[in-house]
Structure 1
């Protein structure tokens, strides 16, 4: 159903659930032409080789298998279908409200490029509705773009770095109104409040991690910490990531291999509000192949992508990604099956947008959010988190934290507060080296460990409150 331009107060911005059609059997594709352009598909099952949706144009194809949406839809309908998935995820999970300020994490790759484009189009449509309405009661959410510069970790020639960042500025500036700012943030900025030589501090921290997978994971955590710091300092209250089905499927298997099964449900939901700035994944239902195809469609201005940082992959994450890619080639539905199966795990209480109690937010928006939010009996409560990766801790992880509660060394408390995966892959094996390693961590991570300890003590006191004697009671 489509809403009118000025009368809709539900923040749906024209929900196109009707655009989504039921899947059809796979079709055959013709070989690609020598020019490399996608070739039409002729198949009697698709109305004599016509698009499944519009029945007017010929389908496109990005692979020889011809089993994805690109093999069933023409260019226009293929793009409309992808945007429909994006918009349904946003509206159904109340990811963005009219009063929000949204920061899009932009790496220059296809996933983040499509996420930026779709968020922009939703904002542009909201701006048109705002301009067309008489009362102008529904404001337009703000959008910013953040690029985390990791050249301090993976050196890039200065000329290439400057050219890449300038290309990103051009992409952002070429988007139609409303204007958006591009924030280029060095990843070493997480040390900005505690060290005069931030790059040196970052180098010492990463060099102290000997495990290849642990070093990759630590870099991911530092990247998220940088995004959170940037969003908070610039007044953004939503963080959009371009994580798609393919990437989430790889994360499901790699997290399982690393023994992070308990915290896995926290990372794969549409919403993750355990952070100060909630993280949302509007492309969760889109495949990497689809996003790559969209970026190369000439009919849409060829969404330009920029690959500035090429990080070497030599650990578990790389092996799992290669394995999932092989599975996808054998059966195009494998990635979706992995994500759907993991999605049956019970989410945590923070896998929803916090309820809005601001009277300035339209009532329809608050009702819609309340409708789609998780109920208390549909989620798991977790009060403690790993100070390194911010994963929710299980009861077995908390046992080590409580046993170390009597230690006077902050490094011991920090180590005990980490999840088993971080203890195994990131922290030094030699206990005597932990204290030196602890000094290299950003204060944002260290303070999180202290906060967790305080919260654990408060939780323990609340649990035994009935057994404690008050000051006025006689001990006898």
Structure 2
């Protein structure tokens, strides 16, 4: 009885010059002061991936979609997911929880010229795995519906704050314009690199979710690592997205039809690089909006510079930041949806610091439900009896600003505005925006209107979900 604890303790003891895990092979990799041989390191990465994926609440047998950009993280994600779905030759009867997946690549060449030749490289990599690939251009956000217009030149009363407006208008009879040009025009009006990065991220995620729904996928796999999670924790907190941290860094059920999974959230970017090198995986080198720029170019770029520097000197600290952030719990699932980023929105009473006044922002829209409300009111193009559908068919203006989250209000401030009561100059043009922003706004306004109509018949519940 006395020898059992000693035997277990001696089995766990580290042997100098040997792999910390198998204690047989000579170590060749050092990560966070731990030494591993090649085989044990690769097994460690795969084990953490499978462990995180198995924790998902998605029903067994569901189809998943891998968000693939060709970078180091998504490249390792594609490899580990393919290994996960591969049939074990020693146990062919063993079935995986998710046996099927497809790959989606969002082409951002309309904003980043360096991505123009990436599609062919992406296709070659995915074809080597014999998986279904969907290449979707970023400008598809303008092809879902007729584009909305941000009214940059509207007569304003002197008592109204021009900075508290984000008036957009749906034009059903608008002339057909190249969607690629609309994307470039929209990003060209933004002066802040932080706003450009955030808007690009929101549009990319919206495109992925839209494509996943179209292909019948129950979840999207993202290649977020522990390093990128730590970067997002710092940057999102600085931008005022603390409420949505659980949805931005962990497995999320925020999108009811599509789950967002991050199975590599426990793996450092350094480990990803080592994994790709040992597995001889070819990656697609591409630049971002802030590549070769100074660290102060944007909040995300500055956060990245800080975390990467911290990881070089104190690698265990980055993992600690990520693990601590995973414990954060907010009531984001009970919040309403931001029309722009489609994330949770905190109470507008907390946004007085970003507005020039604490009063309700100006440019109130016309009552969205001027006719008798209908329970099928959803502002869908196919709806003909709903009050919202009637208003959408007109050139209806709506002030989206009161509906935006704190971070998206910063983006709204970055769009050009002109406070004047005179007619606009010939060179003054409205900014094109994806129509889904307007449709999300109409939907929220109609839901609020309907809730007000039946408020006397509702039973208050502190745990109820707000829509």
Alpha-carbon spacing, 1:383–1:401, altered in 2? closer, same or farther (3 Å): farther
What is aligned with 2:311?
328
Pairwise CA distance, 1:381: 3.9
Alpha-carbon spacing, 1:397–1:237, altered in 2? closer, same or farther (3 Å): farther
* Contact 2:74–2:223, Cα closer than 8 Å, also in 1: yes
Among 30, 40, 44, the alignment partner of 1:77 is 40
Pairwise CA distance, 1:224: 0.8
What is aligned with 2:334?
382
Alpha-carbon spacing, 1:125–1:345, altered in 2? closer, same or farther (3 Å): same
Among 46, 56, 62, the alignment partner of 2:24 is 56
Pairwise CA distance, 1:396: 2.5
Pairwise CA distance, 1:424: 1.8
Match of 2:243, SS state, is coil
* Contact 2:54–2:97, Cα closer than 8 Å, also in 1: no
Match of 2:114, SS state, is coil
Structure 2, unmatched stretches of 5+, are: 1-8, 147-175, 292-296, 352-357, 368-395, 460-467
* Count of residue pairs brought into register by the alignment: 373
Pairwise CA distance, 1:339: 1.7
Higher strand share: 2
Among 421, 432, 441, the alignment partner of 1:449 is 441
Of structures 1 and 2, the one scoring higher in RCO (CA 8 A, sep 6+) is: 2
What is aligned with 1:167?
121
Choose 84-93 or 258-267, whichever is displaced more: 258-267
1:301-316 → structure 2 map (5 Å cutoff): 302-313=280-291, 314-316=297-299
Structure 1, unmatched stretches of 5+, are: 1-21, 26-44, 349-379, 468-476
What is aligned with 1:280?
261
What is aligned with 1:414?
400
1:63-102 → structure 2 map (5 Å cutoff): 66-68=30-32, 71-95=34-58, 97-102=59-64
What is aligned with 1:28?
none
Pairwise CA distance, 1:139: 8.5
1:77-156 → structure 2 map (5 Å cutoff): 77-95=40-58, 97-125=59-87, 132=93, 141-156=99-114
Choose 260-269 or 436-445, whichever is displaced more: 436-445
Pairwise CA distance, 1:406: 5.1
Q: Distance in 2 between matches of 1:198 and 1:325?
A: 36
1:247-258 → structure 2 map (5 Å cutoff): 247-258=228-239
Alpha-carbon spacing, 1:202–1:275, altered in 2? closer, same or farther (3 Å): farther
1:13-28 → structure 2 map (5 Å cutoff): none
Q: Distance in 1 between matches of 2:206 and 2:444?
A: 17
TM-score where L is the length of structure 1: 0.70
Alpha-carbon spacing, 1:174–1:212, altered in 2? closer, same or farther (3 Å): same
Pairwise CA distance, 1:259: 1.8
TM-score where L is the length of structure 2: 0.72
1:356-435 → structure 2 map (5 Å cutoff): 380-396=332-348, 407-408=365-366, 411-427=397-413, 428=415, 430=417, 432=419
Match of 2:101, SS state, is strand
Match of 1:148, SS state, is strand
Pairwise CA distance, 1:308: 3.6
Q: Distance in 2 between matches of 1:227 and 1:381?
A: 21
Choose 75-84 or 410-419, whichever is displaced more: 410-419
Choose 243-252 or 439-448, whichever is displaced more: 439-448
Alpha-carbon spacing, 1:219–1:140, altered in 2? closer, same or farther (3 Å): closer
Tell me how large the CA RMSD over aligned residues is: 3.2
Q: What's the CA shift string for 1:301-337, capped at 9, x where partnerless?
A: x122112444325211101100111111221112122
Q: Distance in 2 between matches of 1:463 and 1:402?
A: 22
Pairwise CA distance, 1:140: 5.9
* Contact 2:27–2:36, Cα closer than 8 Å, also in 1: yes
